[in-house]
């Protein structure tokens, strides 16, 4: 592979899981690569997408789908192990008394991104958090205002993220504690309470014009008390799902993205649609698959409810009936 000739990197202060893993791949310019070394779509691809006709344009214009939102904050005052979808890729998770939030976007990230599903609870109520899992630097996952707000409300919180993203976070909140991992590296936690490992995803990173892939992207395995959660973050379908099962076995719950996937020729390398997400869930041997990354922000060509309707059809197939769980925003899924 190209990247094996270019170079690899890791955090020397964190444990690497797997003796054969050489490190996270980088190119000759020091920018991160996917495992298959495939480049991200370029300007010509973006221009083609923006100028071609969307075959679902009329359907999208008529779309009135909205996610069901359960407005209740009782889960914040419970000791029960649980997962609560907050919309898009944001989840509140409690395992063995440890509380964390994934990719918190608790505001409207920009004037170009309208929020189509409300938050189930007032963000001011997120206090006493132990960890924030920040998968990558895209604005619909890494929101400066949300990070600053949670930092103020949770002075002891620690952010667990990918290589080089901690440098940006320190500029936003100079006092915030961060651990930045390479793929297949385990964060330093109280292992009697929880284990969290940073894993590959097939994606890319950028916040500005000239920082493409300067900061790493990834997914997470969260384990505690015999229970396990895989947070897939943003990812196209790739071999890392089969690799996950080969190394870690099955998982209780997989949180996988299903939206922002059309046109598939452009979005496919970065985001899965419903069919590929179900395929991935089977490959990692998930007992339950909770879809995410749809219904909150309109980021691509498919109508807002397209992933939900596709998953409802897929759920009718026998192998998927007990696998797919279409959670409402704010619904408490006990573990």
Cβ atoms of 106 and 199 closer than 8 Å: no
Q: What pLDDT shows up at residue 1?
A: 41
DSSP count for the chain of H helices, then E strands:
9, 16
Low-confidence ranges of the chain (pLDDT < 50): 1-3
At CA 328, angle to CA 327 and CA 329, rounded to 5? Answer: 120
The C-alpha angle 160, 98, 243, rounded to 5 degrees, equals 55
pLDDT score, position 6: 64
d(CA 100, CA 133): 7
Query: Whose structure tokens read 């651990």?
Result: 179
DSSP string, 21-86: ---EEB-TTS-B--TT-PPPP-HHHHHHHHHSPPTTHHHHHH------B----GGGG--S-EEEEE
Which tens digits make up the pLDDT trace of 224-242? 999 999 999 999 999 999 9
Predicted local confidence at residue 129, as pLDDT = 97
35 forms beta bridges with none
In terms of phi and psi (left: phi > 0; alpha: psi -120 to 50; beta: otherwise), the region of 332 is: beta
**Contact call for residues 245 and 283 (beta carbons, < 8 A):** yes
Distance, CA of 81 to CA of 87 (rounded, Å): 19
């Amino acid at each position: 592979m190209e990247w094996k000739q270019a170079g690899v990197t890791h955090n020397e202060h964190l444990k690497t899981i797997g003796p054969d893993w050489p490190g996270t791949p980088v190119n000759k310019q020091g920018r991160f690569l996917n495992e298959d070394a495939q480049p991200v779509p370029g300007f010509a691809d973006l221009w083609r997408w923006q100028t071609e006709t969307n075959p679902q344009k009329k359907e999208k214009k008529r779309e009135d789908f909205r996610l069901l939102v359960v407005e209740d904050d009782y889960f914040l005052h419970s000791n029960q192990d649980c997962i609560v979808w907050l919309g898009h890729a944001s989840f509140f998770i409690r395992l063995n008394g440890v509380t964390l939030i994934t990719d918190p976007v608790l505001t409207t990230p920009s004037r170009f991104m309208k929020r189509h599903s409300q938050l189930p609870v007032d963000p001011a109520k997120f206090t006493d958090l132990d960890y924030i899992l920040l998968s990558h630097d895209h604005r619909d996952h890494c929101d400066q205002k949300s990070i600053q707000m949670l930092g103020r409300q949770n002075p002891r919180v620690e952010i667990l993220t990918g290589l080089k993203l901690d440098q940006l976070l320190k500029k936003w909140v100079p006092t915030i504690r961060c651990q930045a991992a390479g793929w297949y590296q385990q964060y330093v936690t109280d292992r009697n309470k929880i284990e969290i490992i940073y894993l590959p995803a097939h994606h890319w990173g950028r916040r500005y014009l000239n920082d493409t892939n300067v900061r790493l992207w990834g997914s997470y395995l969260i384990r505690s008390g015999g229970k396990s959660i895989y947070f897939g973050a943003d990812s196209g379908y790739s071999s890392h799902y089969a690799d996950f099962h080969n190394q870690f076995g099955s998982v209780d719950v997989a949180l996988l993205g299903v939206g922002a996937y059309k046109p598939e020729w452009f979005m496919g390398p970065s985001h899965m649609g419903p069919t590929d997400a179900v395929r991935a869930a089977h490959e990692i041997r998930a007992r339950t698959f909770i879809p995410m990354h749809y219904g909150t922000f309109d980021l691509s060509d498919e109508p807002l409810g397209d992933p939900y309707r596709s998953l409802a059809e897929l759920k009718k197939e026998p192998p998927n009936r007990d696998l797919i769980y279409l959670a409402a925003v704010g619904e408490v899924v006990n573990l």
